[in-house]
Structure 1
Amino acid sequence: MRTWLAALCVVVFPFLSHAAPVALQNYNADLSETSMSGLSSGGFMAVQFAVAYSALVKGVGIVAGGPYFCAQGDVDIATRKCSCTGLPVISSCEVAPGSTSIEQLVDITNQRARDGAVDPTRNLARQRIWMFSGTLDSVVPQPVMNDLFTYYRHYIGEANIRYRNDVQAEHAMPTEGFGNPCAELGKPFLGNCGIDGAGEILKWIYGDQLRPKNTNGLSGRLVEFDQSEFFDDRNPERHGMADRGYAYIPASCDKSINGACRVHVAFHGCRQNAEEVDDKFIRHAGYNQWADVNSIIVLYPQTTSTFMRNPKACWNWFDFERDDPDYANKNGRQMLAIRAMLDRVAGVTLPPDPAPRCFTAANAEHVIAGRAHGWFFMAMANGSNKLMGLNNFLSVTTLKQVGPNHYVVGKCI
């Protein structure tokens, strides 16, 4: 029996191998039907992406997340007021009703929309939002999710929002039959709550026309793809993402059949990436069973841990490396990578990169303009992280832009 089960896993879930990942393919997906969801930092990331690219996203599922730009680029706010994840003794949890400063976040959202950093907020009105917050959640307590509901109500009618906040669940993605007991906290952060969270998300977003999930063997395939090609510097780990991601491709969406398919992006939570929990989130969160019979491609992009700044492999919802001032905007590095993945599965052909632009200015002026960032008393170029010298108005550097928010020290030739 063990031998048979092992063989089945190899056939149905080949991504467990250590072979080199392949390039993500074009499946002619319909991007107007794009949706996403996430747990914990993945929930914050789903909200962040869906606000920044609101013209693209049809609906969002959030489990234990929070409002857009909740952390405001400050790890202290992220761990005290948007969650209870600070170091014991050193950091106290200050989560309370209204602690995320919703009115301020709404003002920031509106200003960024006026500046073009995020899509116009009028797009949010058509999004379908599904929210879940366990009454026992000790990591992202319910007041944060309640604030998220208040945030959304500034833009979205209540009829488009489904909020489940009456289940005795800890910090986990709710499932019908896999994972820890619903009230237990711990890896793989899947809670056996008798609730098909993935199914409820997809049904709320796409409506009752979805066919019932496949309860037998899946007909599609899981692919392991190279995430490095979605970063200008080909170094995803520098930006908190792993070198490989995963995607479930239903048979109806396979390129050889050329079906018109939707795309759902499933953002895992902190310590829930493949390096931490292997295939448990990808295989057991519940998305694949619905995707298999409803022509939905499920992207499972992956993070990785970075020493000190992001040891739990969270998504970048608080600028953990202090080098991406656009992290919550359309030009954030992880945001651009996810958008590029969506473009790839849809077969979108991007225009060629414009000729490199050069900027010669004082280092402090580069930092103010968002081309560089401060590091102690020094300045470092965004993207390449090249040391430029002292962060002052006397030291002058020429920066060459080689990609969105990516600069190198040099001259244009």
Structure 2
Amino acid sequence: MTSRLHAAPVSLQNFNVDIAQTSVSGLSSGGFMAVQFSVAYSSIIRGAGIVAGGPYYCAQGDTETATRRCSCSGFNLTSSCEVAPGSTNVDKLVEITGRRAQGGAIDATAYLANQRIWLFSGQQDSIVPPPVMQDLYNYYRNYVGEAAIRFRKDINAEHAFPTESYGNPCTALGKPYINNCGFDAAGELLKWIYGDNLRTRNTNGLGGRLVEFDQTEFFPDRRPRRHGMADIGYAYIPASCDKSMNQPCRVHVAFHGCRQNADSIDDVFIRNAGYNPWADTNNIIVLYPQTASTFGRNPNACWNWFDFNRDDPDYANKNGRQMAAIKAMIDRVAGLTTPPDPAPRCFTASNAEHVFAGRAHDWFFLALANGSNKFMGLNNFFTLTTLKQTGPNYYVVGNCL
């Protein structure tokens, strides 16, 4: 296992990016998330690559449906898997998609016709069995021509991201959920989405850089862990895309699966799934947004494709909290928004206002500054404190003099 990055998180920067060339992919909950994103923001998506995912809004906000009909991932010993051909009810999901598009909650479905879709279903997948992926194919066929969909279902693979040479045996199930299947899924999906004219991947050592970036900036309350996402995300920036080169570039968002986030397996998915060597030679910036476990309802740090906290009924729409955060990351990279001023910022307010704004947190009726955990006094509206921000979600008691 490679060691995790240790550089200080930075603000995600602007690059010379055509947002209309954005693409997404993912495994498992990341596959469901990639579908969700490709449908909700279809106007900017060039294509999607799905490994072990299912149709848009498959769970319909219900955990039992998510773990019994859209997958076989239930935790209840009395629960039985009900996955079967047609168990996701594609016709109903298509109807819901149409209603949401008409209401503006997601982009018009006509944009989906412009996408290129790559699907992979392992023959031995025990978590998202092949019938779910067949339903996903049937769902996309309502909007995308057959010639624009590539469906690979001919490899004896378990529930994992397939690579050419890295990971567990192809039929194994377990961390890091990357399997050596003699098959380069990352390369195949990128070639399908962007065309076979992609330059061959870099096999002689990567020339770009991995960066850790601040995900708190993309949440209004600056507390992503409340919404199932980590404080830090990752990005691979090819040398050709750095500002000094000013080359036109594209963005690909790679959604890891459950228990594949950096808190669980360090940077193994980021470094070994296979995206970076292709990105390096083809001017593709790869975003690796990160989830975080949520006590009780989401212990495995899955993406929100079933409203796990029961507090985001718009989770599958454009204004869902995770969805909007990912779109904001893409907007930042594409230069549609600007990074915050790197200079230290000071905030003077009551301790209760600091806690509400996400600069501090409550600890037994006391207020502690986020990051430094410095004592501020009672958590009330009468005690005033000045907090100085010295890093992403890191505050100290003091001033900016």
| Counterpart position of 1:51 | 39
Q: How many residues align?
A: 340
Measured in 1, the distance between the counterparts of 2:315 and 2:76 equals 27
Q: Does 1:84 align with 2:72?
A: yes
SS in 1 for 2:42: coil
| Counterpart position of 1:370 | none
**Where does 1:186-205 land on structure 2 (aligned, <5 Å)?**
186-205=174-193
Q: CA deviation at 1:88?
A: 4.6
One-letter identity of the residue aligned with 1:280 = V
| Counterpart position of 2:16 | 28
Q: Any stretches of 5+ residues in structure 2 without a counterpart?
A: 339-357, 359-401
Q: From 285, 294, 299, give the equivalent of 2:273.
A: 285
Measured in 1, the distance between the counterparts of 2:337 and 2:163 equals 37
Deviation track 1:11-33 (CA, whole Å, cap 9, x = no partner) reads xxxx621x431100001211111
Q: From 188, 192, 214, give the equivalent of 1:226.
A: 214
One-letter identity of the residue aligned with 1:236 = P
Q: From 143, 148, 151, give the equivalent of 2:136.
A: 148
Q: CA deviation at 1:255?
A: 1.6
State TM-score, norm by structure 2.
0.83
Residues 149 and 57 from structure 1, CA distance in 2 versus in 1: closer, same or farther, beyond 3 angstroms?
same
**Where does 1:114-193 land on structure 2 (aligned, <5 Å)?**
114-193=102-181
Measured in 2, the distance between the counterparts of 1:113 and 1:202 equals 27
Deviation track 1:41-72 (CA, whole Å, cap 9, x = no partner) reads 00000000010000010000000000000000
| Counterpart position of 2:28 | 40
SS in 1 for 2:252: strand
Q: From 187, 196, 201, give the equivalent of 1:208.
A: 196
One-letter identity of the residue aligned with 2:5 = L
| Counterpart position of 1:110 | 98
Deviation track 1:188-235 (CA, whole Å, cap 9, x = no partner) reads 001100000000000000001100000111000000000000000000
Measured in 1, the distance between the counterparts of 2:216 and 2:27 equals 24
| Counterpart position of 1:336 | 324
| Counterpart position of 2:254 | 266
Measured in 2, the distance between the counterparts of 1:89 and 1:74 equals 18
Deviation track 1:128-184 (CA, whole Å, cap 9, x = no partner) reads 000000010000000000000000111111100000111100001110000000000
Measured in 1, the distance between the counterparts of 2:258 and 2:279 equals 24
Q: CA deviation at 1:90?
A: 2.2
Greater displacement, 32-41 / 256-265: 256-265
One-letter identity of the residue aligned with 1:196 = D
SS in 2 for 1:265: strand
**Where does 1:299-314 land on structure 2 (aligned, <5 Å)?**
299-314=287-302
Measured in 2, the distance between the counterparts of 1:298 and 1:31 equals 13
One-letter identity of the residue aligned with 1:23 = S
Q: From 42, 55, 75, give the equivalent of 2:63.
A: 75
Q: CA deviation at 1:256?
A: 2.1
Q: Any stretches of 5+ residues in structure 1 without a counterpart?
A: 1-5, 351-382, 384-413
Measured in 1, the distance between the counterparts of 2:197 and 2:169 equals 32
Measured in 1, the distance between the counterparts of 2:134 and 2:306 equals 20
SS in 2 for 1:58: strand
Measured in 1, the distance between the counterparts of 2:312 and 2:167 equals 35
Measured in 2, the distance between the counterparts of 1:64 and 1:32 equals 25
Percent sequence identity over aligned pairs: 71
| Counterpart position of 1:100 | 88
